[in-house]
């Protein structure tokens, strides 16, 4: 009996072992399924962060939020440290949209950034065989890099271009490594950084295309020339990118608007026009002067302003002057008050209407000579021609008289005045010509 029990125990132990192995095998995953290793956080990283720790959000490049352990550094204000459960690049942004105002031409580091982790192994330097060169030592492993999006604008505030009727500013966006003493500035971008810009409270002459930043550094910055016209007191650029989301408010100088009554006027000194000069804010609203302001006037072309300079008293925004034409060339009227500037172009045109009215009046006056007692037998076409020529001479004399003798401009500047002047000069002139012709004939006979 004892011998049988002695032989039975090994059999029972073998059976129990096979059963346990079967259960373990059944609970194990299939061999064709790869086991996913648990995520382990990267080494602790430290970088500059100007906002509260509670506002910090960590996302991967696809926009999925990652869990991160964030701790402020009490000995280094404005810096934080964190650990993230990923071995790939990740983006750090704030949970609230920040608005900044571009008040200087200094480079601004925009909120948020991209963290590129370090490489674990040193990079080997390959040397072609057969050159007799001793293999070089491997390069050191690349450190982590904290990349920031930067923006710089010029000029600030934006300046007014009266030729285009818009404000002008140029912005440059780039990607630069931060904390060069802690991170490697030689890191490269795996894919370009796209920067999209939206408009709020301003209009531009052309649509804005996205900017692609393909590498780090100053040489790879992308520039944007902006000719814009504000429609609100705070024109804003909505900058959206992988690294940073921020609103940038633009500053622009006030300006002077030169507003003539019309864009054209009769030349040759025959017309006067009232021109208003108004001080306005960038978005077009009247801007009252806070102190006595002198406005200098210059006219590029044959015309005379009266007076030659204007003055704005406090609480005033508009002043006016008279502009008298002289000649037929185009005019450019410029108003300057300190750093504010404005200009307008006015075309001077020939007084064709009064000229034709004077010729018609002269011909009619010459024709009327035949109805006066003592008129000779001169043919009607000749009287029409003589009347028109005399009227033209009288009209030119009238134009000169307006400029040099201070004759009323209405005598030759309007169709009615020119017609009356031509008719009288034609009637009298033809009469004088016929008398002179009669005397000359009598002396010849």
Q: Which of 95-104, 200-209, 390-399 is the least confident region?
A: 390-399
* Of 40-49, 139-148, 265-274, 313-322, highest mean pLDDT: 313-322
**Could you tell me the pLDDT band of residue 241, with boundaries at 50, 70 and 90?**
very high
Q: Which of 11-15, 25-29, 62-66, 224-228 is the least confident region?
A: 25-29
- Position with higher pLDDT, 137 vs 156: 156
Assess whether pLDDT exceeds 70 at residue 238: yes
Model pLDDT, residue 321: 96
Superfamily in which the 255-349 domain is placed by CATH: Immunoglobulins (2.60.40.10)
Average pLDDT over residues 225-244: 94
User: How far lies 358's CA from each of 12, 94, 350, 392, 426, in Å?
Assistant: 138, 78, 14, 7, 9
- Cα dihedral sign, 384-386-389-391: negative
Assess whether pLDDT exceeds 70 at residue 14: no
Q: What is the mean pLDDT of the chain?
A: 80
**Could you tell me the pLDDT band of residue 28, with boundaries at 50, 70 and 90?**
very low
Domain limits of the chain?
45-120+141-249, 255-349, 352-444
Q: What is the DSSP code string of 84-145?
A: -S-SS-EEEEESS-EEEE--SSS-EEPS-EEEEPPPSSPPP----TTS-PPPPPPPPPPPPE
Average pLDDT over residues 34-54: 62
Digit-coded pLDDT (tens) for 406-436 = 667 777 788 888 888 888 888 887 777 777 7
**Could you tell me the pLDDT band of residue 188, with boundaries at 50, 70 and 90?**
confident
**Could you tell me the pLDDT band of residue 259, with boundaries at 50, 70 and 90?**
very high
Q: What is the DSSP code string of 314-360?
A: TT--EEEEEEEE-SSS-EEEEEEETTEEEEEEEEEE--HHHHHHHHH
Model pLDDT, residue 38: 46
Q: Which of 116-125, 269-278, 424-433 is the least confident region?
A: 116-125
Digit-coded pLDDT (tens) for 292-305 = 999 999 999 999 99
DSSP label of 369 = G
**Could you tell me the pLDDT band of residue 37, with boundaries at 50, 70 and 90?**
very low
Average pLDDT over residues 98-113: 92
Model pLDDT, residue 206: 87
The 10 Å Cβ neighbour count of residue 253 is 17
Assess whether pLDDT exceeds 70 at residue 130: no
| List of E strands, 113-232 | 113-116, 145-161, 166-178, 193-200, 202-204, 211-213, 222-230
- Closest to 292 in 3D by CA, of 344, 338, 253: 338
Assess whether pLDDT exceeds 80 at residue 29: no
Average pLDDT over residues 142-168: 87
Model pLDDT, residue 296: 95
Average pLDDT over residues 159-164: 89
How far apart are alpha carbons 79 and 57 in whole angstroms? Answer: 15
**Could you tell me the pLDDT band of residue 122, with boundaries at 50, 70 and 90?**
low
φ/ψ (deg, to 5) at 135: -55, 135
Assess whether pLDDT exceeds 70 at residue 255: yes
pTM of the complete model? 0.70
């Amino acid at each position: 009996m004892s011998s049988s029990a002695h032989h039975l125990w090994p059999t029972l132990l073998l059976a129990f072992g096979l059963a346990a192995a079967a259960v373990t095998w059944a609970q194990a995953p299939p061999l064709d399924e790869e086991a996913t290793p648990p995520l382990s956080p990267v080494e602790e990283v430290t970088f500059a962060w100007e906002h509260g720790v509670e506002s910090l959000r960590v996302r991967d490049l696809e926009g999925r939020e990652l869990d991160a352990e964030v701790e402020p550094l009490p000995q280094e204000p404005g810096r934080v440290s964190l650990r993230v459960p990923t071995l790939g690049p990740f983006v750090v942004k704030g949970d609230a949209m920040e608005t900044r105002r571009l008040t200087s031409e200094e480079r601004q580091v925009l909120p948020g950034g991209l963290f590129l982790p370090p490489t674990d192994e040193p990079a080997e330097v390959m040397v072609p065989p057969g050159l007799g060169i001793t293999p070089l030592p491997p390069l050191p492993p690349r450190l982590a890099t904290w990349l920031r999006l930067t923006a710089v604008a010029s000029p600030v505030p934006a300046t007014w271009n009266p030729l285009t009727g818009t404000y002008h500013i140029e912005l440059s966006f780039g990607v630069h490594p931060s904390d060069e003493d802690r991170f490697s500035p030689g890191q490269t971008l795996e894919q370009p950084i796209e920067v999209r810009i939206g408009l709020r409270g301003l209009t531009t002459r052309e649509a804005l295309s996205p900017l692609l930043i393909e590498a780090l550094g100053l040489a790879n910055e992308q520039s944007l020339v902006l000719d814009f016209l504000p429609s609100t007191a705070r024109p804003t650029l909505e900058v959206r990118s992988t690294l940073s989301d921020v609103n940038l408010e633009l500053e622009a100088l006030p300006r002077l608007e030169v507003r003539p009554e019309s864009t054209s006027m009769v030349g040759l000194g025959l017309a006067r026009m009232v021109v208003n000069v108004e001080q306005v804010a960038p978005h077009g609203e009247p801007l009252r002067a806070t102190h006595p302001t002198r406005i200098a006037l210059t006219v590029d072309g044959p015309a005379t302003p009266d007076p030659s300079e204007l003055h704005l008293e406090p609480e005033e925004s508009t002043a006016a002057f008279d502009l008298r034409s002289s000649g037929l060339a185009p005019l450019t009227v410029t108003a300057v008050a300190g750093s504010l500037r404005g200009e307008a172009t006015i075309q001077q045109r020939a007084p064709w209407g009064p000229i034709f009215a004077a010729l018609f009046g002269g011909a009619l006056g010459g024709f009327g000579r035949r109805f006066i007692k003592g008129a000779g037998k001169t043919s009607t076409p000749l009287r029409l021609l003589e009347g028109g020529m005399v009227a033209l001479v009288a009209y030119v004399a009238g134009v000169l008289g307006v400029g040099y003798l201070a004759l009323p401009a209405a005598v030759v500047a309007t169709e009615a005045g020119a017609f009356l002047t031509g008719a009288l000069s034609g009637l009298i002139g033809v009469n004088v010509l016929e008398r002179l012709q009669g005397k000359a004939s009598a002396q010849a006979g």
